């Protein structure tokens, strides 16, 4: 496995969730970050807000554990824009293998031809950040998903080894987290899905709507409400008018 200098790797067979495994290692003090944990399949793949991530063998399930800025004493990890760095790293990796341009759905989904190919779950625990990434490679769920899904093999005839995808992903992420904020924002915006479109933002029971106009320096989603007033939100699920 060809990972950037300093990275460790644990390869698991079946696990409940690579993010949960990362948490256990952190809690028991058995962590040597940066650490890449991969599994062949997950029995309890997690999405955001305790949603389920369908985790069939053949797809990529990885959690990358890094120390936060304070703990490592480094100032070169872009914590604020980590979700966007991660989406870009996934997008750049997929672009190596397919012709369609991956697009980013705020905050960190990656779509290919308007279908979800990858999801990201970032969690923080005891001064460590766990970046959980699922990428559909060979299969994808065909029902019970909010967005239609897809997988890499639907967009290429080449059989790409998971190791090749993982190596590119970690390398891309390692370089993105060292970029400055404006570069990250600009790169993300160039492939933002739905710019200028009417969006609905679900925040629990509350729903906001407006025209999606970009992200600000903190990665908050900016939208213009129906009265033309600029608003920003830091969290929420986005859907688009059909």
Interface with ligand BT5 (CB under 6 A):
17-19, 42, 45-49, 51-54, 61-63, 109, 116, 119-121, 132-134, 136, 140-141, 145-146, 149
Segment (H or E) for 189: helix 181-190
CA angle 177, 85, 36 (to 5 degrees): 70
Q: Could you give the CA distance from residue 238 to residue 119 in angstroms, rounded to a whole number?
A: 14
Q: Which is nearer to ligand BT5, 160 or 224 (CB)?
A: 160
Q: Taking the complex as a whole, how short is the minimal distance between the CB of residue 73 and ligand BT5, in angstroms?
A: 27
**115-125 and 109-112: which strand pairing?**
antiparallel
Q: Which is nearer to ligand BT5, 137 or 185 (CB)?
A: 137
Q: Which is nearer to ligand BT5, 53 or 128 (CB)?
A: 53
Q: Which is nearer to ligand BT5, 17 or 191 (CB)?
A: 17
Q: Taking the complex as a whole, how short is the minimal distance between the CB of residue 61 and ligand BT5, in angstroms?
A: 4
Which residues neighbour 4 within 8 Å (Cβ) at sequence distance 6 or greater? 170, 171, 174
Q: Taking the complex as a whole, how short is the minimal distance between the CB of residue 27 and ligand BT5, in angstroms?
A: 16
- Nearest residue relative to ligand BT5 (C-beta): 119
Which residues neighbour 173 within 8 Å (Cβ) at sequence distance 6 or greater? 64, 85, 86, 89, 131
């Amino acid at each position: 496995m060809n990972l950037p200098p300093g990275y460790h790797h644990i390869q698991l067979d079946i696990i409940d969730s690579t993010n949960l495994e990362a948490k256990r290692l952190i809690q028991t003090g058995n962590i040597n970050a940066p650490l890449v944990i991969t599994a062949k399949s997950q029995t309890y793949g997690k999405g955001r807000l305790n949603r389920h991530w369908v985790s069939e063998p053949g797809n990529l399930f990885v959690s990358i554990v890094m120390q936060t800025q304070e703990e490592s004493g480094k100032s070169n990890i872009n914590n604020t824009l980590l979700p966007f760095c991660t989406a870009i790293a996934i997008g750049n990796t997929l672009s190596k293998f397919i012709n369609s341009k991956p697009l980013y759905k705020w905050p960190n989904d990656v779509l290919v031809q308007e279908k979800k190919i990858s999801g990201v779950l970032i969690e923080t625990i005891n001064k460590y950040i766990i970046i959980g990434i699922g990428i559909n490679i060979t299969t994808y769920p065909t029902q019970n998903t909010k967005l239609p899904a897809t997988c890499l093999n639907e967009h290429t005839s080449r059989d790409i080894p998971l190791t090749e995808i993982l190596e590119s992903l970690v390398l891309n992420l390692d370089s993105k987290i060292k970029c400055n904020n404006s570069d990250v924002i600009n790169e993300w915006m160039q492939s933002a899905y739905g710019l200028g479109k009417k969006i609905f933002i679900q925040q629990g029971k509350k729903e906001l709507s407006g025209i999606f106009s970009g992200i600000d320096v903190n990665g908050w989603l900016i939208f213009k409400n129906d009265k033309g007033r600029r608003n920003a939100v830091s969290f929420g699920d986005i859907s688009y008018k059909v």
